[in-house]
């Protein structure tokens, strides 16, 4: 656990605070609101390593690349998210039945995906829409992943459910609607599981990185960012996929970045081109919705690709990554 203290806190006060917490703790100071600009104090501070000190230029010291130049790699099973190969996570929007999720898992594996996705707790816009199978769905997902040899990613929507979900899932997804649910961010920060943090659909890059900081500050360094499209004025697509943020984030943060062209476009015919474009922009991988029978999907049917399309997408992602690795 990392504990933030205000600037001006004395070393003794810091030790006292640390002693009150029974976990290993690193201390760092944040500027106080009434910082009057004491020159000597500023000079002392400049001599200290800048590490872990939020400033107005870098309010997210733990997520910042300036403080952590080496790129972070999050390992899940055999997959290295942020490593040399693009990682593709695939599976249905929702776990619907035992047969559906096992078929999806086998298809994802055969197509070359490295992780299986599937929602058990679904954040649906309407309370009358299919809400997911809950814990039963989670168990089915975990069994299907195990049978196919794929780690699983699933969304957790409330702090009280983090523990049971973390017991069965390899990666905890924070959905777009919950990116700024701070109690939830803190709880997944304490879970010890890798976290896939989706961008809020109206969140700035800075708000997103500060959300990541909430998880990091709890001592969980396994944070993966995921761009999934922003609310826009044009109803032609479900969202506007912001690929500009991909190379921008590579400058701002050491955290790996995935792109979700399924929610990002809302149209199955746009998943392939935008998935390829995301890898070309430098994304570390993709998370896509794939269903054995897209037309029958209980949620997000319009954006589900088939296993055959997924197979080609994986190959193209690898080819684009290889092209980017060519020396200039």
Contacting residues toward ligand PEP, per CB under 6 A: 93, 119, 123, 175-177, 198, 228, 260, 263
| Minimum distance of Mn ion from residue 230's CB (angstroms) | 16
Instruction: Check residue 300 and give left, alpha or beta (phi > 0: left; psi -120 to 50: alpha).
Output: left
| Shortest separation between residue 150's beta carbon and Mn ion, angstroms | 18
Q: Are strands 79-81 and 74-76 parallel, antiparallel or unpaired?
A: antiparallel
What residues make contact with Mn ion under the rule CB under 5 A?
93, 300
Q: Which is nearer to Mn ion, 213 or 289 (CB)?
A: 289
Residue 176 contact partner, candidates Mn ion, ligand PEP, none, CB within 5 to 8 A by sort of partner? ligand PEP
- Nearest residue (CB) to ligand PEP, 154 versus 191: 154
Nearer to Mn ion, 173 or 220 (CB): 173
Q: Are strands 152-155 and 171-174 parallel, antiparallel or unpaired?
A: parallel
Contact between 254 and 72 under an 8 Å Cβ cutoff? The reply is yes
At its nearest, how many Å lie between ligand PEP and the CB of residue 156? 11
Instruction: Kindly tell me which of 93 and 141 has the beta carbon lying closer to Mn ion.
Output: 93
Instruction: Note whether 129 and 299 are within 8 A (CB).
Output: yes
CA 305 to chain centre: 21
Q: Could you tell me the smallest distance in angstroms from the CB atom of residue 228 to ligand PEP?
A: 4
What are the structure tokens assigned to 256, written together?
Answer: 């790996």
Least distance in Å: CB of 302 to Mn ion?
A: 10
- CA 254 to CA 179: how far, in whole Å? 19
CA nearest 162: which of 141, 181, 140, 143?
181
Closer by beta carbon to ligand PEP, 86 or else 200: 200
Nearest to 176 by CA among 227, 131, 136, 224: 227
CA 93 to chain centre: 16
């Amino acid at each position: 656990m990392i504990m933030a203290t205000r600037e001006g806190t004395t070393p003794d006060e810091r030790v006292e605070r640390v002693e009150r917490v029974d976990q290993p703790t690193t201390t760092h100071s944040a500027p106080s609101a009434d910082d009057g600009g004491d020159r000597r104090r500023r000079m002392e501070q400049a001599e200290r390593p800048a590490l872990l000190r939020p400033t107005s230029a870098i309010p997210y010291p733990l997520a910042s690349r300036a403080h952590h130049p080496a790129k972070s790699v999050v390992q899940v099973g055999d997959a290295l998210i942020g490593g040399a190969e693009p990682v593709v996570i695939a599976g249905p929007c929702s776990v619907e039945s035992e047969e559906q999720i096992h078929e999806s898992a086998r298809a994802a594996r055969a197509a070359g995906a490295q992780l299986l996705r599937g929602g058990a707790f679904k954040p649906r816009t309407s309370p009358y829409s299919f809400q997911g199978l809950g814990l039963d769905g989670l168990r089915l997902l975990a069994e299907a992943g195990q049978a196919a040899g794929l780690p699983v990613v699933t969304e957790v929507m409330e702090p009280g459910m983090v523990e049971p979900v973390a017991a069965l899932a390899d990666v905890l997804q924070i959905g777009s609607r919950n990116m700024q649910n701070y109690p939830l961010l803190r709880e997944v920060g304490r879970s010890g599981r890798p976290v896939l943090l989706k961008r809020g659909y109206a969140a700035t890059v800075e708000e997103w990185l500060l959300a990541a900081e909430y998880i990091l500050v709890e001592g969980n360094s396994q944070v993966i960012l995921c761009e999934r499209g922003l609310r826009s004025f044009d109803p032609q697509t479900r969202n506007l996929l912001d690929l500009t943020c991909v190379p921008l984030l590579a400058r701002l943060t050491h955290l790996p970045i995935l792109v979700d062209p399924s929610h990002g476009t809302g149209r199955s015919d746009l998943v392939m081109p935008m998935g390829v474009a995301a890898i070309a922009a430098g994304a570390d991988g993709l998370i896509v919705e794939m269903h054995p029978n897209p037309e029958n999907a209980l949620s997000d049917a319009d954006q589900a690709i088939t296993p055959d399309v997924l197979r080609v997408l994986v190959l193209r992602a690898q080819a684009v990554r290889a092209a980017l690795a060519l020396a200039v």
